[in-house]
């Protein structure tokens, strides 16, 4: 189920002074349901959908803007694409996690 929400990367209510620090670094942890070393997203930049190069199963997929505001969340995700057509143009961070462990982060652009 996809939800568009307004808390920040650390799950605190959004305010104008949110600083999420080094969101552009990658963290990779292998799990049984996510092969994070081989996972790629495309196209980048994009406009309506993000695709994965393989079918993905993850407990949580979230999209954040660069100020830390969470714009999209999908729990118990299974598939190979995400509809991002409701998110305005800009630079965003896709965070994929499983069992509350952050697995992979991707920076992408929406035109």
CATH code assigned at 7 = 2.60.40
Mean pLDDT, residues 59-72: 95
- Residue 99: the pLDDT is 76
C-alpha neighbours within 13 Å on the C-beta side of residue 62: 23
Q: 85: domain range?
A: 2-110
Mean pLDDT of the chain: 77
- Residue 13: the pLDDT is 53
* pTM, two decimal places: 0.67
Domain count, the chain: 1
Task: List pLDDT tens digits, range 23-61.
Answer: 334 444 443 345 556 889 999 999 999 999 999 888 899
Burial 6-26 (b: 16+ CB within 10 A, else e): eebbeeeeeeeebeeeebeee
């Amino acid at each position: 189920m996809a939800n568009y929400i307004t808390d920040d990367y650390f799950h605190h209510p959004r305010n104008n002074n949110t600083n999420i620090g080094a969101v552009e670094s990658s963290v990779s942890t292998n799990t049984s349901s996510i092969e994070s070393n081989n996972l790629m997203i495309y196209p980048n930049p994009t406009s309506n959908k993000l695709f994965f190069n393989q079918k993905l199963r993850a407990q949580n997929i979230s999209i954040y803007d660069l100020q830390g505001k969470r714009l999209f969340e999908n729990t118990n995700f299974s598939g190979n694409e995400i509809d991002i057509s409701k998110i305005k143009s800009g630079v965003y961070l896709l965070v994929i996690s499983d069992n509350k462990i952050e697995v992979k982060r991707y920076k992408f652009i929406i035109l």
